[in-house]
Amino acid sequence: MTHDKIPLAGVLGRPVAHSRSPHLHGHWLTTLGINGYYIPMHVEVDDLETVMGSLPRLGFVGVNVTVPHKEHALRLADRVSDQATRIGAANTLSFSPDGTVHADNTDAYGFDQNLRQAVPDWQPRSGPAVLFGAGGAARAVIVALLDAGTPEIRVSNRTRARADALQRDFGDRIKVIDWNMAQDALRDAVTVVNTTSLGMADDAAWPVPLDMLRREAIVSDIVYTPLETPFLRAARHVGCRCVDGLGMLLHQGVPGFERWFGARPQVDNATREAVLR
Ligand code: ATR
């Protein structure tokens, strides 16, 4: 860094106390020996615009944004990356010295890198994917799978209209499958992903039978509390290789950290441990 200010970054959310990002970035700052800070900030919806305007003047080089600010931050930004536009939300903001806000979304990158690190022989081009859920997280996973060359993405959601909307937004490689027909769509799937909130915090059973799955299928969940969701447990019973959602969180943080603090951090076991502690 050429300037003598201590670089600041953080995460804006409401609530934000549960966020693991301060542990992630704090770990990287320490291991890379960077004199900077990353702090959680509770921001009310009505205050987002004022906060985004003030942070650059306080010495912030950028922030992550999480629920419920991801769509609003995108609309408020001065410049928006392709990925953020396609996903329809921002998760990473970078501030220029003049206060210009650049919005990006690194969730698709995080999803892709997590699968590639955990399963180096993952072949997304070799066959269809099945995706459960059609919320905000589903959009990021769809962008990742499309960019990875997945020939067909079968989207199944309890509320079918939301899956239809994704099909309209992302085009012909998206096929909508009725929630109660989803198990047939699994038969030849190469990649299977849960983006619903099912399994988060409660112990509800996974509702769609997975016994049609091939054992070669790669199965992932974006939920990481618990690390082994009922969905992943069911897939493990079939014998599939399962990738938990924590790695997506770790990898999505890499581009922001590098942009803000000027060094590229590693995602390794020590990173996982630091975030789980
Ligand atoms: P996110 O932005 O994290 O994806 P979201 O937009 O609230 O969050 O989406 C949550 C997803 O979990 C949706 O796909 C939702 O299905 P609906 O569109 O039908 O609401 C899904 N979901 C949540 N609880 C569910 C349940 N009990 N059974 C099936 N799907 C569920």
- Residue ranges in the chain assigned as alpha helix (H): 21-31, 48-54, 70-76, 82-87, 107-118, 136-147, 160-170, 182-185, 230-238, 246-261, 269-276
pLDDT at residue 1 in the model: 47
**Average pLDDT, integer, range 8-28:** 97
The region of weakest confidence among 45-49, 96-100, 169-173, 203-207 is: 203-207
Given the DSSP bridges, would you call strands 92-95 and 101-104 parallel, antiparallel or unpaired? antiparallel
Q: In this structure, how many other beta carbons lie within 10 angstroms of the beta carbon of residue 275?
A: 20
Which two structure tokens, joined as six digits, stand for 105?
A: 């979304």
Of 237, 196, 244, 188, whose CA–CA distance to 217 is shortest? 188
Nearest CA to ligand 1 atom 3: 137
Report the candidate in 3, 207, 210, 249 with the shortest Cα–Cα distance to residue 106.
249
Q: Return phi, psi of residue 208, to 5°.
A: -100, 120
196 CA closest ligand 1 atom index:
12
Spatial distance between the Cα atoms of 154 and 113, rounded to a whole number of angstroms:
21
Cβ atoms within 10 Å, residue 109: 21
Catalytic residue among 20, 25, 70, 251: 70
C-alpha distances (whole Å) from 9 to each of 62, 182, 247 are 5, 42, 21
Average pLDDT of the chain, as a whole number: 96
Amino acid 204: pLDDT = 80
Question: Residue 152: its pLDDT value, please?
Answer: 98
pLDDT recorded at residue 200: 84
Ligand 1 close to Cβ of residue 198 (< 6 A): yes
Q: Which atom of ligand 1 is nearest to the CA of 133?
A: 14
Decide if pLDDT at 275 tops 80.
Answer: yes
Whether 245 lines ligand 1, by a CB cut-off of 6 Å, is no
Ligand 1 proximity of 13 Cβ (cutoff 6 Å): no
Least confident of 121-130, 136-145, 200-209, 219-228: 200-209
Is 194's pLDDT higher than 80? yes
Mean pLDDT of 173-199: 96
**146-167 mean pLDDT:** 98
What pLDDT is recorded for position 274?
Answer: 97
- Measured between alpha carbons, how far is 255 from 240 in angstroms, rounded to an integer? 30
CA dihedral 159, 44, 100, 109 (to 10 degrees): -40
Q: Does the structure show a pLDDT above 70 at 3?
A: no
Nearest to 199 by CA among 229, 237, 244: 229
Tell me the CA–centroid distance for residue 162 and ligand 1, in Å: 10
**Each residue of 227-261: pLDDT tens digit?**
999 999 999 999 999 999 999 999 999 999 999 99
Q: For this structure, is 70 an active site residue? A: yes
Q: How close is the Cα of 178 to the center of ligand 1, in Å?
A: 15
Strand partners, 101: 95
Q: How far apart are CA 274 and CA 89, in angstroms?
A: 27
pTM for the whole thing?
Answer: 0.96
pLDDT tens digits, one per residue of 158-183:
999 999 999 999 999 999 999 999 99
Q: To test the ligand 1 pocket, which listed residue (196, 202, 208, 222) has its Cβ within 8 A of the most ligand atoms?
A: 196
Q: Looking at ligand 1, which atom is closest to the CA of residue 136? A: 2
- Mean pLDDT calculated for residue range 116-138: 98
pLDDT number for residue 79: 98
Q: Return the structure tokens found at 111.
A: 């999803």
Cis-peptide, bond into residue 68, ω within 30° of zero: yes
- Looking from the CA of residue 197, the nearest atom of ligand 1 is 12
**pLDDT of residue 4 exceeding 80:** no
